[in-house]
């Protein structure tokens, strides 16, 4: 993962509304939630919610699919796992201080550098 990609994802999560949206989707699991349901749970107005969904999707953290007249959003667990791995990567100079984080909800597909990758 490139640092710009990771920073974009973290920046997307660095806002209370988007973080609440993302957590709702993480808790919903891969099946996802309709946009309206997320708005209901978080109390965010539709147009604002749409704006934040777009930000999260642009960062690769959520995906959208149309289902009838609903749009279902789901967390992208692989991207999230890649991000967590990037943050803890090469922790303490590579001397294993503790077991590395295990991925959540499926394996990691994003390639992960070892600290001196392309940046």
Partner DNA sequence: TCAATATTTAAATAATACTTGAAATATGGA
Partner DNA sequence: TCCATATTTCAAGTATTATTTAAATATTGA
Report the interface residues with DNA, using CB under 7 A.
11, 15, 17-18, 34-37, 39, 45-55, 64, 66, 68-71
**Per CB under 8 A, which region of 32-40, 45-53, 64-72, 92-100 contacts its own copies?**
92-100
Copy the structure tokens of residue 111.
């390639």
Beta strands in 1-119 (DSSP E): 33-34, 62-67, 70-75
Q: How many residues does the chain have?
A: 119
Complex with DNA: residue 34 or 112, whichever CB lies closer: 34
CA torsion through residues 19, 7, 61, 79, sign: negative
How far apart are CB 24 and its own copies at their closest, in Å?
10
19 binds, among its own copies, DNA, none (CB under 5 to 8 A by kind): its own copies
Helices (runs of H) and strands (runs of E) counted in the chain: 5, 3
Contact 1, 37 (CB under 8 A): no
26 binds, among its own copies, DNA, none (CB under 5 to 8 A by kind): its own copies
Q: Which residues bind its own copies (CB under 8 A)?
A: 3-4, 6-16, 19-20, 22-23, 26-30, 80, 84, 87-95, 97-106, 115, 119
């Amino acid at each position: 993962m490139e640092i710009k990609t990771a920073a974009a994802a973290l920046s997307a999560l660095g806002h209370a509304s988007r973080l609440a949206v993302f957590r709702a989707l993480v808790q919903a699991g891969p099946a996802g939630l309709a946009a309206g349901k997320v708005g209901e749970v978080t109390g965010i107005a539709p147009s604002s919610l749409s704006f934040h969904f777009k930000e999260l999707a642009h960062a690769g953290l959520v995906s959208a699919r149309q289902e009838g007249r609903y749009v279902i959003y789901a967390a992208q667990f692989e991207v999230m796992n890649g991000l967590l791995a990037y943050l803890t990567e090469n922790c303490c100079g590579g001397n294993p201080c503790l077991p590395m984080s295990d991925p959540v909800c499926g394996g990691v597909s994003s390639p992960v550098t070892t600290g001196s990758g392309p940046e």
